[in-house]
Amino acid sequence: MVDIVVITGGGRGIGAASARLLAGRGYGVCLSWTSQREAAEAVVADCVALEVPATAVRADVASDSDVAALFAAAAELGTVAGLVNNAGIVAPPRRVEELTRERVLRLLDVNVAGAFACAAEAVRRMSTARGGAGGAIVNVSSRAAVLGGPGEYVDYAASKAALDALTVGLAKEVAAEGIRVNGVRPGLIRTDIHASGGQPGRVERMQDGVPMGRGGEAHEVAEAVAWLLSDAASYVTGATLDVSGGR
């Protein structure tokens, strides 16, 4: 059976780059999408062209039934051996005193509770203590978890700090069950997420402040994701790798 990696939000940006890279390395991929079906299907077509099994499922990570359906679709393709907890949202720039409870809860629901739900499904399927064959999880955090997102989105930064805690705690919880759990913290990466948060051109505006003097590309994050998922990282767990050009 082919090893399948579930990639939430795999139709665009970092998730799509990860899907294409992993497919090129022989993994089957099961992507989720919520709003951009065609984008996800284009990624699936690219993966199938690389002769691996691939599918895309409409699944909101904030819905437990959607998450269950996503993993069931993955299991139809092969052995679920990996999860990239990539789906994430930002919101328009606001100071903390302007944040509403509704906005904060939505960010936590998608970025944190969604990642927990997917991690739980992955562990239930991969844990050797439950008859699984082991596997690896990579959580896509953000440098914002450390930098704090002042004046923009401290709520988003806090959601990513929670994800970093999930990485550390879950890594220890399942280390003896054949599952490694790691994270990546991207810096300023050129994807649609900035426009979705009302800040098109954010990377160009801020890239002079990056020590390497440029924004990053999705494939540069995907390389770190793929390494952490792979056997080359066999003794790495509970780690979070910054992919941020020094930011």
Query: Looking at the annotation, which residues are catalytic?
Result: 156
Instruction: Report the residue from 4, 5, 12, 152 that binds ligand NAP according to the rule CB under 6 A.
Output: 12
Q: How far is the CB of 131 from ligand NAP (least distance, A)?
A: 28
Instruction: Report the residue from 3, 60, 152, 155 that binds ligand NAP according to the rule CB under 6 A.
Output: 60
Q: Does 167 bind ligand NAP (CB under 6 A)?
A: no
State the number of CA atoms in the 13 A half-sphere of 65 facing the CB.
0
Nearer to ligand NAP, 109 or 177 (CB): 109
End-to-end CA distance of the chain: 41
Distant-in-sequence, close-in-space partners of 145: CB < 8 Å, separation ≥ 6: 157, 160, 161, 163, 164, 185
Q: How far is the CB of 235 from ligand NAP (least distance, A)?
A: 26
Distant-in-sequence, close-in-space partners of 136: CB < 8 Å, separation ≥ 6: 81, 82, 83, 179, 180, 181, 182, 228, 229, 230, 233
- At residue 44, φ and ψ (nearest 5 deg) are -60, -45
Nearer to ligand NAP, 8 or 237 (CB): 8
Site for ligand NAP in 131-150 (CB under 6 A): 140, 142
Site for ligand NAP in 182-211 (CB under 6 A): 186, 188-189, 191-193, 196
* Lookup: tokens for 104: 């904060």
Nearer to ligand NAP, 127 or 207 (CB): 207
Q: Does 91 bind ligand NAP (CB under 6 A)?
A: no
Nearer to ligand NAP, 14 or 136 (CB): 14
CA 194 to chain centre: 16
Instruction: Report the residue from 28, 53, 82, 88 that binds ligand NAP according to the rule CB under 6 A.
Output: 88
Q: How far is the CB of 143 from ligand NAP (least distance, A)?
A: 6
Instruction: Report the residue from 5, 9, 222, 225 that binds ligand NAP according to the rule CB under 6 A.
Output: 9
Q: Does 110 bind ligand NAP (CB under 6 A)?
A: yes
Q: Does 32 bind ligand NAP (CB under 6 A)?
A: yes
Binding site for ligand NAP (CB under 6 A): 8-9, 11-15, 32-36, 39, 60-62, 86-89, 110, 114, 140, 142, 186, 188-189, 191-193, 196
